[in-house]
Structure 1
Amino acid sequence: MNGYNALAARIGTYPSLAVFRRFLILHSRDLLCMQAEIVNLEQKLLPAIEVDREVKDPLRNAFEYDIAALKGPHTTKRAGLQWSLTMELRAKLKEYGRSCEAQLRFAALCRLAPADKNALATLQELLQKPFGSGLSFLKPHESGIWDEEYINDMASLAGQNIDRDGLSKLIEKLVRSVYHPWMGHKVHDPLSVAEEAWACEGDLGPVIYYPDNYVTAAADALSTILASVLPACCALGLFFIRSPLTRMVAIVACTVAFSVVLTLVARPRRVESFCAASAFVAVLVVFGGSGTSNDSTPSPSP
């Protein structure tokens, strides 16, 4: 890829690739510097107020309640110190008031979804020029924007990977590490842009991106299968266990397995997980108890 235009075309065509730096450190530093400036001015203003209050000068004593006297004009620079500091502080406070928008913007940046590693890996492939060289078209300082060391400072603007369950993360990892090398690169088409004006010059290479809906569809299908197979397998296993003690141990093991799978396929709240596990173990206990009763019923004598 040869430039920002081509990169913007890919991100616009595939919004899930919209991974950007938040520059949280710089935003924090700017707010901290502004805050420190105000505090330092305050520490200069307070002693000036105290001196004007206690000095044996009726005019400067009047600064406490006479704004006209405070504003001046003043005969000496020292006499006008309190007002000059007030005006300087006013400007900083006005600037800090405008920075409330920056504070809200900083809070919004912190709430953005973390960077999607799948999209980040695709972006890193797109930046290579030529494809496979490992070299980026970006200038030296810009080429490190999407480096792995800054992943905690990146955000996915699409926000589709926030609160993703463990199963989806596992499937996404398997897609890139197993499915893509063996089959995916043969089956799926590489990234493309409809408008030729935005297309890059030269060979982009077979960069293939698997959108989130692929992973979501696979996770939904697997979750549906597990939802029906897991309880049935547990019940079937209990059917063949004759010992009541062994059967209870099996119920405990099945309940633990159910809780683990539930955590993987969804992100339930603790109370929801507890209720689901309690209902599951209740069903197994009833089934196990009925099986035990049937086993203990004496067969009719001929």
Structure 2
Amino acid sequence: MSMNGYNALAGYMGTYPSLAIFRRFLILHARDLLVMQGEIINLEHELCMSIQSDREAKDPVKNASEYDISALKGPHKSERAAEQWSRTLELRKLLKNYGRSTSFASFRLLLSLCEAQLRFASLQRLAPVKKADLLPLHECLGMPYGSGRHFLRAHEFETWDEEHIHDLASLDGSNTRKDALSKLIDKLLRRVYHPVMGRKLHDPLSVEEAWASHGQPRPIVYYPDGHVSVAIDTLSTILASVLPALSAFGLFFIQDPLIRMVAIVACTVLFSTILTLVARPTRAECFAITSAFAAVLVVFLGSNGSVP
């Protein structure tokens, strides 16, 4: 059995999580929050008006109902005095038909608002999407290779357009974990290496037979993040040992004190820049590591004197 349309796309996304890119609909969620917020504000206003009316009434029973539920319940001297309790009983009968009470309805509204707020906050924390991330997904959206047709119809055709890129999110979340150098290499892979050599040297995407695309599969190449991570880790290990040694070696042959100080500043700036590129340190970590690096160079020069 083979799949078409959304079924085939689900096969690709399930096999390659980096293709799992979806709309967040932040504007619609924000509107939903605003509507529920307005409902709660109106309910709060009606509640305050009711409390104020009972508080200013000349009937002592109504005055006491704010502090004593038994005063609200009665018994009352007249039907007019028992009007609030009678209305409460009538309302209770109506609400029983719906299986909830007034307070529970208000609680549900408040709970819905809290859930909507948490949902909106969670959507905002999802990993953003870059234009390069959409390239393989756009290829997957097409019909079987050679048909020249797109399976999306009507308004769904615009779901993954670049104009909605700020509303798109990657469920894989790999973008948030990548350092600057990894993102640069990833961009070079997709925009430079892939068009020139990648599509010729690497095997296309493969999906289990039950969810494979109908017809001739599209030649879509996937570059796992693990390969880039291994290259970055190797480069980071090499730089961590070579950069301090090269800096000390170069300073050893500089005799002029002023030039030495300039060289220390240059080496420190280079070190902190490379550290930011190959890792994702916090500001405090970057400051501490860079300060330690500069201190090591100063101690090295002090222990070796000014003559090579």
Name the TM-score, length of structure 2 as normaliser: 0.80
Aligned to 2:271: 258
In 2, the alpha carbon distance for the partners of 1:228 and 1:62 equals 80
- Deviations along 1:105-128, one digit per CA (max 9) or x if unpaired, are 333333333236544321122112
1:189 aligns with 2:203: yes
AA matched with 1:39: I
1:238 aligns with 2:251: yes
Instruction: Mark the CA change 1:132 to 1:41 in structure 2 (over 3 Å): closer, same or farther.
Output: farther
2: distance between equivalents of 1:242 and 1:33? 72
Q: How far apart are residue 190 of structure 1 and its match?
A: 0.8
- In the TM superposition, 1:101-180 aligns within 5 A as 101-115=115-129, 117-129=131-143, 131=145, 136-180=150-194
Confirm or deny: 8 A CA contact 2:37 2:113 kept in the other structure: no
What is the deviation of 1:13? 1.0
Shift of 1:88: 5.4
In the alignment, is residue 200 of structure 1 matched against residue 213 of structure 2?
Answer: yes
C-alpha deviation, 1:69, in angstroms? 5.6
Shift of 1:262: 0.6
**Alpha-carbon distance, 1:189 to partner:** 0.7
3-state SS of the aligned residue for 1:20?
strand
Corresponding position of 1:68: 73
Residues 188, 13 of structure 1: alpha-carbon distance in 2 compared, 3 angstrom cutoff: same
Task: After superposition, give the CA deviation of every residue in 1:99-147 in whole Å (9 maximum; x if it has no partner).
Answer: 5344333333333332365443211221123658886311221122222
**Are residues 144 and 260 of structure 1, via their aligned partners in 2, closer, same or farther at CA, if it must alter by over 3 Å?**
same
How far residue 188 of structure 1 moved from its aligned partner, in angstroms, is 0.9
Gaps of 5+ in 1: 296-302
Q: In the superposition, relative to structure 1, how do residues 183 and 109 fare at CA in structure 2: closer, same or farther (>3 Å)?
A: same
Q: CA deviation at 1:283?
A: 2.4
Aligned to 1:220: 233
Verify the 8 A CA contact 1:259 1:273 in the aligned structure 2. Answer: yes
Match of 1:300 in 2: none
CA distance in 1, matches of 2:239, 2:13: 35
The residue that corresponds to 1:287 in the other structure is 300
Of residues 32, 40, 43 in structure 2, which corresponds to 1:41?
Answer: 43
Deviation track 1:173-203 (CA, whole Å, cap 9, x = no partner) reads 11112221222112111111122x3111234
- Could you tell me how far apart the structure 2 residues matched to 1:143 and 1:88 are? 44
CA distance in 2, matches of 1:275, 1:60: 68
- What is the rounded CA distance, in whole Å, between the counterparts of 1:247 and 1:91 in structure 2? 75
- C-alpha contact 1:113 1:157 (8 A) present in aligned 2: yes
- Measured after TM superposition, the shift of residue 45 of structure 1 is 2.8
Q: How does 1:68-107 map to 2 (within 5 A)?
A: 68=73, 90-107=104-121
1:205-257 Cα deviation digits (max 9, x unpaired) = 32112121122122112222322332233223223323222122111101110
SS of alignment partner, residue 113 of structure 1: coil
Cα distance between partner residues in 2 of 1:144 and 1:92? 39
Note the aligned Cα RMSD (angstroms): 3.3
Whether the 8 Å contact between 1:24 and 1:153 is mirrored in structure 2 is: yes
8 Å CA contact retained: 2:129, 2:170: yes
Is the CA contact 2:144–2:213 (under 8 Å) kept in the aligned structure 1?
Answer: no
Which is worse superposed, 165-174 or 138-147? 138-147
Identity of aligned residues (%): 59
Secondary structure at 1:12 match in 2:
helix
Partner of 2:32: 30
| Map of 1:15 onto structure 2 | 17
> Matched residues in 1 for 2:127 and 2:257: separation?
49
SS at match of 2:307: helix
- Aligned residue type for 1:3: G
Q: How many residues align?
A: 291
Deviation at 1:98, TM superposition (A): 4.5
Counterpart CA distance in 1 for 2:53 and 2:198 is 78
User: Structure 1 counterpart of 2:73, which letter?
Assistant: A
Aligned mates of 2:59, 2:276 — CA distance in 1: 75
| AA matched with 1:160 | S
Please tell me the residue identity of whatever aligns with 2:123: L
Once residues 106 and 163 of structure 2 are traced to their aligned partners in structure 1, the CA distance between those partners, rounded to angstroms, is 35
Measured after TM superposition, the shift of residue 150 of structure 1 is 2.5
1-side partners of 2:53 and 2:85: how far apart?
12
SS in 2 for 1:294: coil
